[in-house]
Amino acid sequence: MTDSSSSQHNPQEHQTNQVSQNNSAIPLTSLLQQYFGFSHFRPGQEQTITQLLNRQSSLAIFPTGSGKSLCYQLTALQLPHLTLVVSPLLALIKDQLAFLEKKGIKAASIDSTLKGREAQEVMTSVRDGSIKVLMVSVERFKNERFRQFIESVPVSMLVVDEAHCISEWGHNFRPDYLKLPSYCKALNIPLVLLLTATATKKVKLDMANKFAIQPEHIVQTGFYRANLDLSVVSVSSAQKNNKLEQLVKSQQGAGIVYVTLQHSAEVVAQYLQQQGVNACAYHAGFDSDTRAQIQQDFMSGNIQVIVATIAFGMGIDKSDIRFVIHYDLPKSIENYSQEIGRAGRDGHLSHCITLANLDGLNTVENFVYGDTPELSSIETVINSIKAETSSSSDTGKWELQLLPLSNSSNIKQLPLKTLLVQLELCGVIEPLYAYFADFKIKLLQPQQAILDLFNQQRQAFLIKIFQAIDFKKVWGSLNFDNLLQDKSIERNRVISALEYLQEQQLIILETKGMTEVFNVDLHALTKPSLTQQLSDYFKDKEEKEIKRIAALIRFFELDTCLSINLSRYFDDNIFDNNQVNSKGCGHCSVCRGQIAKLYYSQDKKPWPSDDTLIASIKEFTLCLAGKTDKPLELSSYCRFIAGISEPLFARTQVKKLSGFALCEQQRYSDICTKIRPILRLSHK
Ligand SMILES: [Zn+2]
């Protein structure tokens, strides 16, 4: 069971047993050979494809690099209409498109990198059926122009890549993913395929439940990989670079070193270079050309070692990565397993080494605390909905632009999105549609020349549109409010007309200022317990995240086989079924008798004196004087001292003050305890 493209799968991976006969005329293996050039399916693929062709929505859980994508790619060829693939990362999309192109399968994406005309070409090809696979990000669904388009073409199957993002129990929960089931219903898509590499039992059932996938249609291949040698090495921060250098020099072949911060990626890469290692930094702070170049150099072997933040890896399909080293603590067991999963996809022995101590623990935890909104911030959001729904002429409608609300409520954008999804799930708000507040138009021909191309009736319509455009020198902005006062004009028709003009290269159209419109249930909105209920939700979430970090530390300190524990965590019971030695894998540091004990290796910076703290707080208060509508919260002071960012800080010079991050090494809860009495004192 090998395929020519990448890897031999691991011989101990258990086989999915029963596969019912598919009902298409051509055997699946012939299609596999014909389109992809592979002679055999890898575990789980055939069962998944067969289910899909029998119109059974499915969930496929395969380890990274074991051919998940092929399940939808081959199926899409056999389905009558479009296959719509939702993927969280542009890099993943580009990678899969390149693969499909190589195989001669027409696929495309609609994303922010496309120019107006290119997007138009894609839409035309989807409409005439020449494109069978369309890939988009989940955010694309908010785009009014995209929704209008996708509602007008028949879709055979929805594929959700990295589907664990849909589960709130998952490690990578993306609030927008929660809306996918309702999009699926609204678009009448009859078939769904969810794909993921990492899912605990809870996450698995949660995902299946949200799309009404039957338990028997969950296809899971083994998680355990016998060719990965796992080690946890307890090391002090002072010794880390030395240890890293030693390890890297003792390894053959390509490797990835993972760090938490962009800054560390550069510092560590530079250190390795100075020691004569062919290493290079990679993080999201580099521009896309630089990142692409580094990726390419790594793929081709020109760079041996990449020192990267977690931005690196998704969509990298290099089968011979010989080692993955965690220089800093990963974010969770799920992240850890995803990151080590990039090693040894060719089935050959590869080393996964974690250099661990507890020095960075507070930093990791403080990231979590920074994301929990304050009760008063949640109240601000609720009040702003109340104010707008009662004052607007359109009662019960609420219009949202994310950034201004994030600023006024002092809630970061990601938690704010989570809050909105929670309001949706409580039945307080219901999304109606989204539109762009700003339509900018540039004429490529004189106005009259454009009008002359159309018949009288259309001309009359276009004249009304043109009259509503306020032209400056080159660009004009469309005033929808004025235009739509004429009740005979519908917004959709205006957009279609502008799209058409753009398609004909008569104008250039640019849209921005995404505005989401919600229906508001005023009764649910005024429920007295609402704010508290939402706040409890976030506290609960915070607690879960902190526990996730604790679970990770416990995992690294285990005194029983790491491979067994990791497999069980992801609901693979291969060791319990006596398929392999149930006593231990024989290729992890614990099986070799080295149990790691993690410790704080650096003396924490002592607390600054109360006088210093009082001075910092005064400086902070002064800096924000007159810049907020309401009094500062205890949490804002604590975040400032802890060096955790919040929207309020971004608009001011707060981060440049000497007190910012003054106590970043301390635990957040200790900082709160310390600041509370000082605050009372300094206010006297
Ligand atoms: Zn072991």
Q: Per-residue confidence at 312, pLDDT binned at 50, 70, 90?
A: confident
pTM above 0.85, yes or no: no
Q: How many Å from the N-terminal Cα to the C-terminal Cα in the chain? A: 76
Same fold, 18-220 and 228-359+559-569: yes
Residue 11 has pLDDT above 60, yes or no: no
Instruction: Please tell me the predicted confidence (pLDDT) of residue 115.
Output: 66
Question: How remote is the C-alpha of 308 from its chain's centroid?
Answer: 17
Q: 268 C-alpha vs ligand 1 centroid, how far in Å?
A: 29
Among residues 630, 37, 72, 684, the alpha carbon closest in space to that of 377 is found at 630
Residue 62 has pLDDT above 60, yes or no: yes
- Spell out the domain ranges in the chain: 18-220, 228-359+559-569, 375-524, 610-682
Q: Name the residues around ion ligand 1, CB cutoff 5 A.
A: 561, 563, 584-585, 588, 591
Task: Beginning with the edge strand found earlier in the chain, give each strand of the sheet holding 155-160 in spatial order.
Answer: 107-109, 133-136, 82-86, 155-160, 191-196, 58-61, 218-220
Q: 68 C-alpha vs ligand 1 centroid, how far in Å?
A: 27
For CA atoms 539, 175, 200, 548, give the dihedral sign. Answer: negative
CB 388 within 8 A of CB 509: no
Determine the average pLDDT of the residues in 282-306.
91
Fold assignment, 18-220: Rossmann fold (3.40.50)
Could you please report the per-residue DSSP string of 390-457? HHSSSTTEEEE-HHHHHHHHT--HHHHHHHHHHHHHTTSEEEEEEEEEEEEEEESS-HHHHHTTS-HH
Instruction: Please tell me the predicted confidence (pLDDT) of residue 59.
Output: 97
Q: 590 C-alpha vs ligand 1 centroid, how far in Å?
A: 6
Beta-carbon contacts of 75 under 8 Å, excluding residues fewer than 6 positions away, are 49, 52, 53, 83, 157, 193
Q: 244 C-alpha vs ligand 1 centroid, how far in Å?
A: 22
Instruction: Please tell me the predicted confidence (pLDDT) of residue 21.
Output: 42
Q: Per-residue confidence at 1, pLDDT binned at 50, 70, 90?
A: very low
Q: 589 C-alpha vs ligand 1 centroid, how far in Å?
A: 7
Q: 324 C-alpha vs ligand 1 centroid, how far in Å?
A: 17
Geometric angle at alpha carbon 574, from 569 and 579, rounded to 5°: 160
Mean pLDDT taken over the chain: 87
Q: Per-residue confidence at 171, pLDDT binned at 50, 70, 90?
A: low
Determine the average pLDDT of the residues in 34-52.
94
CB 556 within 8 A of CB 226: no
Residue 232 has pLDDT above 60, yes or no: yes
**373-377, 432-436, 521-525: lowest mean pLDDT where?**
432-436
Q: 201 C-alpha vs ligand 1 centroid, how far in Å?
A: 22
Q: 592 C-alpha vs ligand 1 centroid, how far in Å?
A: 8
Q: 532 C-alpha vs ligand 1 centroid, how far in Å?
A: 46
Q: 582 C-alpha vs ligand 1 centroid, how far in Å?
A: 10
Instruction: Please tell me the predicted confidence (pLDDT) of residue 140.
Output: 83
- Partner residues linked to 229 by β-bridges: 351
Determine the average pLDDT of the residues in 143-153.
83
CB 478 within 8 A of CB 462: no
Instruction: Please tell me the predicted confidence (pLDDT) of residue 237.
Output: 93
pLDDT in tens, 566-580: 999 998 877 777 666
Beta-carbon contacts of 334 under 8 Å, excluding residues fewer than 6 positions away, are 164, 170, 171, 172, 198, 200
Q: 586 C-alpha vs ligand 1 centroid, how far in Å?
A: 5
- Partner residues linked to 323 by β-bridges: 255, 351
Residue 236 has pLDDT above 90, yes or no: yes
The top-level CATH class assigned to 228-359+559-569 is alpha beta
Residue 4 has pLDDT above 60, yes or no: no
Q: 581 C-alpha vs ligand 1 centroid, how far in Å?
A: 10
Q: 595 C-alpha vs ligand 1 centroid, how far in Å?
A: 11
